[in-house]
Amino acid sequence: MQGGAVIARVLIDGPSELVFDYAVPVGLVVRAGCRVRIPLRRKSATGTVLALVEDVRRDFALRELESLIDPEPLITPVLLRTGAWIAEYYGCGIETVIRSLLPESVRSEENSAKTRRVAMLEAAPDPAVLEKLAKRAPRQHAILALLAHAPEMRLPVADLGDGSAAALKSMEKAGLLRLEAQQVRRDPEADGADEVLESPPLVLNGDQQRALEAVLASLQSPAPKPILLLGVTGSGKTEVYLQAAQQVIDMGKTVLVLVPEISLTPQTVRRFKARFASMQDQVAVLHSNLSQGERFDEWHRIRKGLARIVIGARSAVFAPLPDLGLILVDEEHENTYKQENVPRYHGRDVAVLRAAFEGCAIVLGSATPSLESWHNSQLGKYQLLRLDQRADGQKMPLVRVVDMRLEASKHKGGPAVLSDKLRVALEQRLEKGEQSILFLNRRGFARSLQCPQCGHVCQCPHCSVALTYHRTDERLVCHVCGHQSIVPRKCPECKDPAIVLQGYGTQKVEEIMAKVLPAAKIARIDADAMRRKHALRDTLNAFKSHKIDILIGTQMIAKGLHFPNVTLVGILNADLSLHVPDFRAGERTFQLITQVAGRAGRGDIEGEVIVQTFTPHSPSIQYARRHDFDGFSEQEMEFRRQFAFPPYAHCAVLTSRSNHERRAEFTLQTLHLRLAENLPPGIILGEVLPSPLIKAHGQFRFQITLRSQQARPLTRHVQAVLARTSLPEDVTVVFDMDALNFS
């Protein structure tokens, strides 16, 4: 739009969320999504144009935009539309959404493309000149001879040494070569990356071929329906992804691949680079662990169309890909797709929305789909495709359930970490040269430190949780806020020296395994052991090359790993995720056991899984034992339907936080009274209750749960109440639509 008839609504860069109106000067072509320079007080600042609106009569004159930073909008119309939907649906300001669409590394003027000076031939040197230089200026002769050998070479000046500056300047002045700045990509995969060998397409089985054909048909549709690809672990979903992506690339379009965790990004990148070996430099990576420079380079490569395949975690759903043809959401059930901070969007749901806006195909893949996606497939909103057999024809692993109540009676010293059945199975695998995985979703050495005399438990001073003992660091650590303290020699309360460790974590399992199987090579994968950069990659590579016999780990090893020599998986304390105050506890337990069990028997030898539990008759464990998703979903959906829980209703949580417990509770009670007034029909308003984790990071927390079949009326009602309520300065209220975390 042009001229003084319109004004630009600009989001100012910086930590604040200031939005100001500026007049658009005559002759300046501005569009929504453009980056602009604007006057702010007595200095110049930068910002992003959120919208262009018609000017209205006012008592003061608006200041004008100074200039455009980039003539083209950095935010595409589709992404602006997606951002507006997120702001309305999740009840947050459009300003916070824009900061997700345009990462700080792109907005900040402190970041720019990295360049280096290079020397290149101006023209082929005359042999006589070379001969002359060989006698009078040997350094100039050496540089010219090197460039003459490869006329297309761009020789980095930094590689020539400090003494070459004068020689280069003389040759540039003589017209023999020219110096220019060359942009250098900061490649996030370059540091220590393994060599990627080309991987040709595999022959698909019948189920895979039918799934691929359905995806290809979706690519041709003007309004494709989202596809839910339900494939058991090892069924070859990734091969379907790769061959579908190849078709999209051949059509001249681009592909977006979302993975649930940053730790899964490197192996996904390697698989795509191996398949698309001729265009490895067109595969981009996008996630929050990149440096500012790496993120800047990757984002601009994507925007300019230099990268045709983008792989990343949930924030990559906003990648500015042109001509988007296919979105792949791997492990779509994972709760890590939900953003924990404002804007609290769900990456999978936003991906489905973006696919609808772009008119492109989208595939949601999982062995254990979320019940929300499963429900959508049953309603016909999603197209359901199934891969019920493993791609290599192997049987699903045999799952054995061990009742640890019976094991406890055998061990008078307390509950056993390893059952006899699991210990014998590990010994047998070690003798055969096969590998094993032990899964325990609790890091550290012991769950808590407790006094047997007075019952005192060492608690975190900032959170309502016990401190976990970490033997490696000889520290007590809070797994919520990170607080650390020294290990007391005697009880802090009664001074009794007999203070003891309770429970166990991955560190203790590692120590026990070293004693039980001293000949085994053992490695541990958890957040503590993987602090060093590339530690996870190096450990997995060592396991892949059979340098490790037994791998012990947390959720980091639960999914996405393919090791054909792993024939045994042991799941220790399968009840950890079962007995929590969350209606999704059963679903998450079923998903976790199924996913971890799927790591076994992916080669020529049938796998075995041993699940240790104190509640062996739980439906989640029994259905997982039989790999029966249909049976589990049927009984779980009936429970959800009876109590109006998702997917039969949207569930939101309103949480108050404050350093003062009474003030946090009173604020939420006040909001509860106001929410109850003129409550729209169909909304179920819960009571004010302490959060399951009542204190975290030094703040007390209370919450209200709201449910409704319609999401937008619920969001609008809550936002309207919040807008007319003045909150105390030391109280923070957070609204989370489609909440996944109730702690």
Q: How does pLDDT run across 65-94, given as a tens digit for each residue?
A: 999 998 889 999 999 999 999 999 999 988
Say what the pLDDT of residue 15 is.
74
**What are the pLDDT digits (tens) for 421-440?**
999 999 999 999 999 999 99
Is 193 inside any structural domain?
Answer: no
> Are 677 and 570 found together in one domain?
no
Q: What is the three-state SS of 711-735? A: HHHHHHHHHHHHHCCCCCCCEEEEE
> Are 279 and 328 found together in one domain?
yes
Q: Are 343 and 100 in contact (CB under 8 A)?
A: yes
Is 190 inside any structural domain?
Answer: no
Count CA atoms within 13 Å of residue 565 on its CB side.
17
Instruction: Name the percent of the chain lying above pLDDT 70.
Output: 97
Domain extent, residue 706, equals 650-736
- Distance CA(581)–CA(570), nearest Å, equals 26
Say what the pLDDT of residue 470 is.
94
The H or E element that residue 438 is part of is strand 435-439
Q: Is the dihedral of CA 90, 91, 96, 102 positive or negative?
A: positive
Q: What's the pLDDT band for 3 if we cut at 50, 70, 90?
A: very low
Say what the pLDDT of residue 193 is.
55
Say what the pLDDT of residue 185 is.
82
Does the pLDDT value for residue 628 go beyond 60? Answer: yes
> Are 498 and 516 found together in one domain?
no
> Are 342 and 375 found together in one domain?
yes
> Are 219 and 364 found together in one domain?
yes
> Are 37 and 130 found together in one domain?
no
- Distance CA(144)–CA(130), nearest Å, equals 8
> What mean pLDDT comes out for the span 610-637?
95
**What are the pLDDT digits (tens) for 190-230?**
665 567 788 899 999 999 999 999 999 999 999 999 999 99
> Are 499 and 514 found together in one domain?
no
559 φ, ψ (degrees, to nearest 5)? -150, 160
> Are 352 and 305 found together in one domain?
yes
Is 154 inside any structural domain?
Answer: yes
Q: Are 33 and 74 in contact (CB under 8 A)?
A: yes
3-state secondary structure of 301: helix
> Are 270 and 336 found together in one domain?
yes
**What are the pLDDT digits (tens) for 595-608?**
999 889 888 888 99
> Considering only 168-177, 388-397, 422-431, which range has the smallest mean pLDDT?
168-177
- Distance CA(16)–CA(24), nearest Å, equals 23
Q: Which strands make up the sheet holding 468-470, listed edge to edge?
A: 468-470, 475-477, 484-486
CB-based contacts of 357, cutoff 8 Å, min separation 6: 78, 81, 82
Does the pLDDT value for residue 108 go beyond 90? Answer: no
Sequence length of the chain is: 743
Say what the pLDDT of residue 414 is.
56
Is 171 inside any structural domain?
Answer: yes
Say what the pLDDT of residue 54 is.
84
Does the pLDDT value for residue 536 go beyond 80? Answer: yes
- Distance CA(351)–CA(515), nearest Å, equals 48
Each residue of 696-705: b (16+ CB within 10 Å) or e? beebbbbbbb
The H or E element that residue 115 is part of is strand 114-121
- Which residue type occupies 478? C
Q: What's the pLDDT band for 535 if we cut at 50, 70, 90?
A: confident
Mean pLDDT of the chain: 90
268 φ, ψ (degrees, to nearest 5)? -65, -40
> What mean pLDDT comes out for the span 549-560?
87
Does the pLDDT value for residue 249 go beyond 90? Answer: yes
Say what the pLDDT of residue 411 is.
64
Write the DSSP symbol of residue 200. P
Domain end residue (candidates: 475, 503, 531): 503
Count the domains in the chain.
Answer: 6
> Are 380 and 420 found together in one domain?
no
> Are 359 and 413 found together in one domain?
no
Is 393 inside any structural domain?
Answer: no
- Distance CA(416)–CA(402), nearest Å, equals 12
Return the closest-CA partner of residue 464 out of 440, 484, 480.
Answer: 480
CATH code, domain carrying 36: 3.40.1440.60
Domain end residue (candidates: 320, 355, 387): 387
> Are 549 and 413 found together in one domain?
yes
Say what the pLDDT of residue 560 is.
72
Q: Which two tokens stand for residue 131?
A: 């001969």
Is 742 inside any structural domain?
Answer: no
Q: What's the pLDDT band for 37 if we cut at 50, 70, 90?
A: very high
Count CA atoms within 13 Å of residue 238 on its CB side.
16
Does the pLDDT value for residue 1 go beyond 50? Answer: no
Domain end residue (candidates: 85, 107, 129): 107
**What are the pLDDT digits (tens) for 446-481?**
988 999 888 899 999 999 999 999 988 899 999 999
Is 336 inside any structural domain?
Answer: yes
CATH code, domain carrying 270: 3.40.50.300
Is 560 inside any structural domain?
Answer: yes
Across the chain, how many H-helices and E-strands are there? 21, 31
